[in-house]
Structure 1
Amino acid sequence: MKLIKLNAIDSTSSFLKELAQNSALENYTVVVTREQTKGRGQQANSWISESSKNLTMSVFINDFNLEIHHQKYLNFAISLAIFDVLSTKKIEKLSIKWPNDIMSANKKICGILVENSIRNSKIYTSIVGMGLNVNQIKFPAFLEKASSLKKITNINYNLDILLLEIVYQIKYRVKLLIAKKYSELERDYLNVLYKKNIPTMFKDYNGVLFMGMITGISSTGNLQVQLENETTKEFRIKEITIA
């Protein structure tokens, strides 16, 4: 593992992507920064983080040759790796919110963005960016659903140790992926999926409210929701939110 530490950068994932285009990177090269000015989340969302309080990092992975139609298992592996580490920290009501937010009860503590490079219908490299709220205890008013490890446990965490734990666990979960342990990854993911099998009020992209129940993830990685008429409908990212 090669570790690159920066004081400030616009985005660790953008930095790592540019580095990968211009040089041959060692597998599991990690870029971490004290301050990230333009952190990115799903669908061009921003990630806001207090300087030196949280873990803002990206990891370069290139040791798999994954069929693109198995992409969801990569997402499962990465999400579960973070979940595995946090599950040792006594975080209450820990879960994974589809596709890959880490939740404590109804509060978000980690966001993950997986960006893949594809060649001949296969994923051959991936850049995994993540923002984990660690020692920050105050958040802007508009981030009412944000929390952190310290806010939950009242413990101050060592960011360097946490980083090493996360990279170690990513390596472990990616090994399962390479070994094609797809059913194991899916089972573990579904076992901790936020709101699974719980009747929930949703809102679609038109603002229409409806009741449904998350039942699983489709072969293409879409969220499967059973509706009140007992039919199951699939939703892509941003097509549905929990009301």
Structure 2
Amino acid sequence: MYKIYPKTLFLGQKIQYLPSCQSTNDEAAALIAQNDPAEGTLVVTDNQTAGRGQRGNQWEAKAGQNLTVSLILKPSFLSANEQFWLNIAISLGIYDLLHPLVGDALRIKWPNDIYVYNRKLGGILIENTLHGYGLAWSIIGMGLNVNQTEFSYPTATSLQQETPLPNTYDVPGLLSRLCETLEQRYLQLRSGQRDQLKINYLQILYRYQEEQLFDSEGRYFRGIIIGVDETGRLAIAVDGQVRYFGFKEVSFVI
């Protein structure tokens, strides 16, 4: 059973703990369908058997070794075309948790991966429900590799691999602190501090203002990331022109 006591107003004050489930995002969606859960409710599991990542990928996590959680928010102050601001706030909240542990090698890889150098430490999957032109509910699924040290993918890493402890990391303790950093960034967004959030986001964006090889629908090209627009599209300077790409329209070639 998860018992955490975050110093927050609402985030993480209510928790549904499941020893095992297919997907914490699915369980959070079921909570929303069944009743009106409090904003900031968490769904936490030790063993997610069918976790999802972006682009339909499966999230690999060994039972009991990592942080697997979904957060329920009600960002009614955001319109449908502003939902990427939530992605920015959540990414920064995770960064604020991890940076003191792993240092300046930590980066946010667009659109929603957490990287240390060129290896993936965590991922985010945000699923929104609309009400008219605005957001009614947001389910923020987060997976962070904590104590796991063996992965099927050579590009994966964990806290224990990057900055090993003699024993292991305290996963509930990390979740408690994460609640605090996420709430700080979410309240910053809710109060309209978008300019500061955008500045912070670009400062830690993976490969920002560096020449990089990209793949768009099987076509390779070189370009430089120069920003992210209001709808979350990646802005890349290519041959003197700025091109914009959505979530599934471009990928990094590493």
Is residue 233 from structure 1 mapped to residue 222 from structure 2 by the alignment?
A: no
Structure 1, unmatched stretches of 5+, are none
**How many angstroms does 1:201 deviate by?**
1.0
Percent of residue pairs identical: 35
Q: Distance in 2 between matches of 1:37 and 1:171?
A: 28
Partner of 1:66: 78
What's the C-alpha RMSD, in Å, of the aligned pairs?
1.1
Residue deviations 1:20-75 (CA, integer Å, cap 9, x gap): 11012112111111100110111322111011000011011125421222212111
Partner of 2:203: 191
Matches of residues 36-185 of structure 1 in structure 2 within 5 Å? Answer: 36-62=48-74, 64-91=76-103, 93-140=105-152, 143-155=153-165, 156-185=168-197
Residue deviations 1:122-174 (CA, integer Å, cap 9, x gap): 1122110011000000001xx11100000000122100011111111111111
- C-alpha distance 92-51 of structure 1, shift in aligned 2 (>3 A): farther
Partner of 1:27: 39
Aligned length: 239
Structure 2, unmatched stretches of 5+, are 1-12
Contact 1:91 1:149 in 2 (8 A): no
Q: Distance in 1 between matches of 2:122 and 2:76?
A: 25
Partner of 1:219: 230
Residue deviations 1:69-96 (CA, integer Å, cap 9, x gap): 2212111000000001001113450000
Q: Distance in 1 between matches of 2:60 and 2:251?
A: 20
Equivalent position amino acid for 1:120 in 2 = G
Q: Distance in 1 between matches of 2:81 and 2:60?
A: 32
Q: Distance in 1 between matches of 2:241 and 2:74?
A: 40
Equivalent position amino acid for 1:236 in 2 = G
Partner of 1:13: 25
Q: Secondary structure at the match of 1:83?
A: helix
Equivalent position amino acid for 2:233 in 1 = N
Q: TM-score, normalised on structure 2?
A: 0.91
Residue deviations 1:174-198 (CA, integer Å, cap 9, x gap): 1011111111111110110000000
Q: Distance in 2 between matches of 1:7 and 1:115?
A: 23
Contact 2:102 2:159 in 1 (8 A): no
Q: Distance in 2 between matches of 1:17 and 1:93?
A: 34
Equivalent position amino acid for 2:230 in 1 = S
Equivalent position amino acid for 1:139 in 2 = F
**4+ long deviations beyond 3 Å:** none
